[in-house]
Structures are given as C-alpha cells and as structure tokens.
C-alpha cells in the first residue's frame, strides 16, 4: 500500500426526498464490539463478516489496533453499513483530524450475515441480548427453515481506518485490552473463526 496519503472516500450528495447515502465500514479493532458501535454509530446496521487480504493486524506505536500491507496475510473483521452522521462520529473517535488514522477505501471479501441478521440495526442486536444470543436464535430459525448458502462477494470501496505512518509493533494500552476482548467475543459469536481470533501460541 502506498504511504503517500490515503485515498479520500467519495461523498454522495443526498437528494431531496431520498434516504441519506450509506457506505460499508470494515471494523477490525474495538469497533468489533457491537455495544461500542451502538454508542458511536447509532444508525449503523450489521452486514456480515469480512476478510481484508494482503494485510496484517497489529498493535502499533500508539497502542491501538492497526493493519499494514503484508503479502499472504489477511485481517478478519465485521462490516457495518453507516450513514454520514455515523461516519462523522467515527472520524472523531478514530482521531482523523489528528492523523491517528487515515480514511482508506479497501476491497474486502464479504460474507453477508444470515437473513435474520443481515442489515439489522446494531442497536437492535444489542437490545436483543447481544450477538451471542441473537446468533443462537438465528441458528435455531435457520435449522427450522434452511436457507441456501450465499457465497462471499467482493465489497469494493469499503471504508477502513488505517494509520499509514505508524506501522511498528508495540503493546496495547491497558484500557484497550478490555475493549478488544469484548469486540473479539462479539466477532466470534458472529462468525469470525476462533482460530483467527485466538491463535495458538
């Protein structure tokens, strides 16, 4: 990945009478936690799990999650649908104005969630007991009425926050560990592989 600067996401102008434009956002850090996403992006909807190819997950010098280009590696995460208000909120939380993260557009391989979860408001999932509880109910419903498997598909122009400058290895901040653990728990409940989330030593 070039480090001269991140590509700027294209902004669509809302048209009168139409719903506000939305875009996909790929989360790989503490925003894997749906309760945190509910607070930060109240209009967000859950889309599914995804894989960002040729990138490596790491904790950078700031003590937070980051990804960097690495041939043959991949990063797993969750994809949400967000609107402009959610995006503005994320920009603030991710420290875009302070260059803590840069806004990049990436291509991810998206596995859409089962029908009962696809495009569900994140707030709804949290209010129903969280990803583990909702996934359990979804699995029961799918067994009662099986649906055909939907193959993964490429989702281009997916918003991803990446620090292109600080790509060294470091240790997570103490307060970040708890938030990441909550996020990993939610991500595993939603289908991210446990082998990826908890690699063997």
Distance of alpha carbon 32 from alpha carbon 122, whole angstroms = 11
- Number of C-alpha atoms within 13 angstroms, CB side, residue 121? 11
Instruction: Establish whether 5 is an annotated binding residue.
Output: no
Instruction: Establish whether 29 is an annotated binding residue.
Output: yes
Taking only Cα atoms into account, the Rg of the chain, rounded to an integer number of angstroms, comes to 17
Note if 84 is an active site residue: no
3-class SS of residue 34: helix
Q: Which helix (H) or strand (E) holds 37?
A: helix 34-40
Instruction: Establish whether 130 is an annotated binding residue.
Output: no
CA pseudo-torsion sign 64, 70, 72, 77: positive
- Residue in 94, 133, 169, 175 annotated catalytic: 94
Give 76's contacts (C-beta < 8 A, 6+ positions apart). Answer: 28, 49, 50, 51, 52, 187, 192, 193, 196, 197
Instruction: Establish whether 30 is an annotated binding residue.
Output: yes
- Residues recognised as catalytic: 94
Residues annotated within a binding site: 25-30
Binding-site residue positions for substrate: 25-30
């Amino acid at each position: 990945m070039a480090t001269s600067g991140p590509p700027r996401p294209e902004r669509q102008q809302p048209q009168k009478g139409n719903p506000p434009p939305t875009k996909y956002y790929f989360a790989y850090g503490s925003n894997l936690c749906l309760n945190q996403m509910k607070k930060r992006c109240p209009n967000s909807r859950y889309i599914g799990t995804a894989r960002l190819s040729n990138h490596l997950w790491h904790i950078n010098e700031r003590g937070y999650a980051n990804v960097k280009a690495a041939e043959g590696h991949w990063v797993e995460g969750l994809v949400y649908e967000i609107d402009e208000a959610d995006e503005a909120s994320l920009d603030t939380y991710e420290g875009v104005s302070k260059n803590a993260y840069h806004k990049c557009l990436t291509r991810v391989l998206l596995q859409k969630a089962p029908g009962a979860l696809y495009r569900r408001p994140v707030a709804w999932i949290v209010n129903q007991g969280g990803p583990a509880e909702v996934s359990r109910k979804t699995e029961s419903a799918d067994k009662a009425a099986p649906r055909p498997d939907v193959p993964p598909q490429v989702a281009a122009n997916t918003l991803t926050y990446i620090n292109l400058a600080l790509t060294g290895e470091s240790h997570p901040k103490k307060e970040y560990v708890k938030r990441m653990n909550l996020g990993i728990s939610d991500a595993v409940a939603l289908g991210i592989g446990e082998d990826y989330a908890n690699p063997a030593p």
